[in-house]
């Protein structure tokens, strides 16, 4: 009940971020139901299609965790500690709020899916949706509800795991593992070639490697910005990137993976056609992943800005010009772009060579 009351009384911007999670969960749930309906009509290859549908699920979970980290309920005033809302209770509240948002999205996905199949009232779009969603075969309710439960369960578990009280690791810790996993993913794609589970495994390893390497890359950006006799703006920008590397890094790595995938698409088209593992919904699934990755990075940026608020206030009290703060923010964004764009292009080139050999 406490989680519901906190969610109901939140500011409009916080509610908007939760609605984004619900929308992403609805899109992922719809894809899972589409895969289930396709498996009933064409069982061959259904397991591989389900594995491809887990990619949007992972992107949705990352967005849900990023939104939960910015939720005011996870950082209550000190007075609420006396009321019993300690660190463990805060994690529980965040996990429940995340599960509620994702469950709402799943309910919307189920309603839209049944409506397009004509199971609720009439057939919209002249029955085109019914043909696409295989309305001629009955939908198993237990299997549908089980698939829809994957998103809230995974998102709430990931939220509890990421927000639990623990000693923070250095951002550079995951960099060697990230580079290793990225190299293993590229090697797997080169060995497996186009199509099949091998390509999915290789791309997943590459994406996970970039996510793990993200904090180390953000920390390295901060080091480069403040190298060689820095002034006040460069020092602020560099130290800010180093302090926020653990927050920005995972979302930054995911966005690099999405960018690399988008840059690989033209090479795949020229080398024998684009892969469509999810059929007509492959394009919407890719768009969903891209939107989730972008929203995760923007949300992580909001969290980083919130954590820098005391520092900004202290600088203003000391009389620091507003131009210095704006310049530092521009330097941070420029440094991240200068590193991530070449990285995405390089991974895309290596992936293209691996898949079109």
Q: Could you tell me if 160 and 184 lie in one domain?
A: no
Q: Could you tell me if 219 and 340 lie in one domain?
A: yes
pLDDT tens digits, 283-308: 899 999 999 999 999 998 888 887 77
pLDDT tens digits, 152-182: 999 999 999 988 877 777 888 888 999 999 9
Q: Could you tell me if 5 and 114 lie in one domain?
A: yes
Q: Could you tell me if 348 and 307 lie in one domain?
A: yes
| Percent of the chain topping pLDDT 70 | 87
pLDDT for 38 beyond 80: yes
Q: Could you tell me if 13 and 156 lie in one domain?
A: yes
The last residue of one of the domains, among 166, 201, 230, is 166
Q: Could you tell me if 28 and 159 lie in one domain?
A: yes
CA angle 153, 157, 161 (to 5 degrees): 170
pLDDT tens digits, 67-120: 988 877 666 555 555 555 677 777 888 888 899 999 999 999 999 888 888 777
Q: Could you tell me if 154 and 68 lie in one domain?
A: yes
Give the count of beta carbons closer than 10 Å to the beta carbon of residue 272.
11
Q: Could you tell me if 73 and 204 lie in one domain?
A: no
Q: Could you tell me if 156 and 176 lie in one domain?
A: no
The last residue of one of the domains, among 166, 193, 213, is 166
The mean predicted confidence, pLDDT, of the chain is 83
Q: Could you tell me if 304 and 227 lie in one domain?
A: yes
Three-state SS across the chain?
A: CHHHHHHHCCCHHHHHHHHHHHHHHHHHHHHHHHHHHHHHHCCCCHHHHHHHHHHHHHHHHHHHHHHHHHCHHHCCCCHHHHCCCCHHHHHHHHHHHHHHHHHHHHHHHHHHHHHHHCCCCCCHHHHHHHHHCCCCCCCCHHHHHHHHHHHHHHHHHHHHHHHCCCCCCCHHHHHHHHHHHHHHHHHHHHHHCCCHHHHHHHHHHHHHHHHHHHHHHHHHHHHHHCCCCCCHHHHHHHHHHHHCHHHHHHHHHHHHHHHHHHHHHHHHHHCCCCCCCCHHHHHHHHHHHHHHHHHHHHHHHHHHHHHHHHHHHHHHHCCCCHHHHHHHHHHHHHHHHHHHHHHHHHHHHHHHHHHCC
Q: Could you tell me if 204 and 176 lie in one domain?
A: yes
| Percent of the chain topping pLDDT 90 | 33
- Structural domain containing residue 278: 172-357
Q: Is 78 exposed, middle or buried (0-12, 13-18, 19+ CB in 10 A)?
A: exposed
pTM for the full model? 0.89
Number of domains observed in the structure of the chain: 2
The last residue of one of the domains, among 166, 200, 225, is 166
Q: How far apart are CA 189 and CA 353, in angstroms?
A: 10
Q: Could you tell me if 125 and 245 lie in one domain?
A: no
């Amino acid at each position: 009940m406490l989680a519901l009351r906190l969610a109901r009384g939140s500011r409009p911007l916080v509610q908007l971020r939760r609605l984004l999670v619900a929308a992403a969960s609805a899109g992922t749930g719809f894809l899972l139901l589409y895969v289930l309906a396709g498996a009933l009509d064409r069982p061959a290859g259904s397991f591989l299609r389900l594995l491809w549908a887990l990619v949007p699920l992972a992107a949705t979970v990352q967005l849900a965790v990023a939104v939960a980290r910015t939720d005011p309920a996870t950082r209550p005033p000190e007075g609420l500690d006396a009321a019993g809302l300690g660190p463990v209770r805060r994690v529980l509240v965040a996990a429940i709020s995340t599960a509620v948002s994702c469950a709402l999205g799943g309910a919307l996905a189920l309603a839209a899916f049944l409506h397009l199949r004509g199971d609720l009232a009439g057939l919209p779009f002249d029955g085109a949706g019914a043909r696409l969603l295989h309305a001629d075969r009955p939908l198993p309710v237990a299997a549908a509800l089980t698939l829809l439960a994957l998103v809230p369960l995974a998102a709430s578990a990931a939220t509890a795991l990421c927000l639990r009280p623990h000693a923070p690791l250095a951002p550079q810790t995951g960099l060697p593992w990230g580079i290793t996993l990225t190299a293993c993913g590229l090697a797997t794609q080169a060995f497996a070639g186009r199509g099949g589970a091998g390509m999915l495994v290789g791309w997943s390893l590459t994406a996970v490697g970039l996510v793990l390497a993200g904090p180390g890359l953000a920390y390295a950006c901060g080091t480069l910005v403040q190298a060689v006799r820095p002034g006040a703006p460069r020092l602020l920008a560099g130290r800010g990137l180093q302090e926020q590397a653990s927050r920005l890094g995972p979302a930054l790595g995911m966005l690099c993976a999405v960018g690399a995938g988008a840059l690989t698409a033209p090479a795949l088209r020229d080398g024998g056609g684009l892969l469509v593992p999810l059929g007509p919904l492959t394009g919407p699934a890719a768009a969903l992943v891209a939107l989730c990755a972008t929203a995760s990075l923007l949300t992580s940026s909001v969290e980083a800005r919130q954590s820098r608020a005391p520092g900004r206030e202290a600088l203003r009290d000391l009389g620091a010009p507003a131009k210095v703060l704006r310049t530092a923010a521009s330097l941070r964004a420029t440094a991240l772009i200068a590193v991530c764009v070449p990285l995405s292009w390089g991974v895309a080139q290596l992936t293209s060579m691996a898949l079109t050999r």
